[in-house]
Amino acid sequence: MLEAIDLVKNYGTLRALDGFSLRVEPGEIVGLVGHNGAGKSTFISMAASLARPDSGRIMIEGRPPGKARDRVGVAPQHIALYPSVTVREHLRLFGGLSGLRRGGLRSEIDDLAAALRLTAFLDRRAGVLSGGQQRRTQAACALIHRPSVLLMDEPTAGADPETRQALLDTVKQRATDGAAVLYTTHYLPELTDLRATIAVARAGRVIARGTAEDLLGRLPGEVVVAFDDEQVRISTADPTATLVSLLHDGRPVRGVEVRNPSLDDLYRSLAVTDVHSNS
């Protein structure tokens, strides 16, 4: 389990975390979302014991992060691989650091390479891999020792659909196997695919927490219907009912588009709530 209570972190005069609290249970995937600069990566650095809070408490399975490093897997936002080292050597290195040896290490490497579609690239140097292959290699380094807390910071940034799906399927499987997963992204559909609960960060704290249905269910989507002579665009909480009512008179239709609420809609709705709660 990962638990953070009331973390504060200042960089000079800038307060990066301002009372950040979050808990991720074993088997749970929490999607941490929020605008650029909200504090997501700063929090991940702390959970990975790369930075210390000025105040507050963070625990990994009841221990401070510095004493639980072997239980944590981190896929940082920016690619951090050795260009001249092969994928297999990366995995041997990271697996070896966590105590995996010989047959155990070999079979973890084979299983993970298959899951992340890296088998054909195991003996290629990281520097000659495509961006997506590097992303998958980086995730594999985080996963090789079967960590009980998995921290993934925008692991699919710039990834093609194949890479994205391989990563999402592997993360889902690890959560099913009992890992507590913290996953940051700017893509809402990934969190739906992961069946993640959502934590929204803003200005260094978590301002909302719940399932996608809780947080997005009451937000309006949008229905756009192009008729022969006009285009009708309606903001609605019930797109299906709106669509049925727009189409019921049988007018010829050239196109229909239904837009579900996005993360931007969620941030906007929370900004309004926040302003009200501060007033």
Ligand X SMILES: Nc1ncnc2c1ncn2[C@@H]1O[C@H](COP(=O)(O)OP(=O)(O)OP(=O)(O)O)[C@@H](O)[C@H]1O
State the residues that interact with ligand X by CB under 6 A. 11, 14, 16, 34, 36-42, 77
Q: Which is nearer to ligand X, 78 or 276 (CB)?
A: 78
Q: Which is nearer to ligand X, 40 or 71 (CB)?
A: 40
Q: Which is nearer to ligand X, 157 or 226 (CB)?
A: 157
CA triple 151-44-130, angle to 5 deg: 60
Residue in the structure block whose two tokens are 């837009």: 259
Residue 129 buriedness (CB in 10 A; 0-12 / 13-18 / 19+)? buried
> SS3 for 238?
coil
Residue 164 identity (one-letter amino acid): R
Phi-psi region of 164 (alpha: psi -120 to 50; beta: other; left: phi over 0): alpha
CB 116 within 8 A of CB 136: yes
Q: Which is nearer to ligand X, 86 or 185 (CB)?
A: 185
Minimum separation from the CB atom of position 278 to ligand X (A): 21
Q: Which is nearer to ligand X, 108 or 190 (CB)?
A: 190
Q: Which is nearer to ligand X, 36 or 279 (CB)?
A: 36
Minimum separation from the CB atom of position 204 to ligand X (A): 7
CB 46 within 8 A of CB 52: yes
Minimum separation from the CB atom of position 106 to ligand X (A): 35
Residue 51 buriedness (CB in 10 A; 0-12 / 13-18 / 19+)? middle
Minimum separation from the CB atom of position 164 to ligand X (A): 18
Minimum separation from the CB atom of position 267 to ligand X (A): 12
Minimum separation from the CB atom of position 119 to ligand X (A): 31
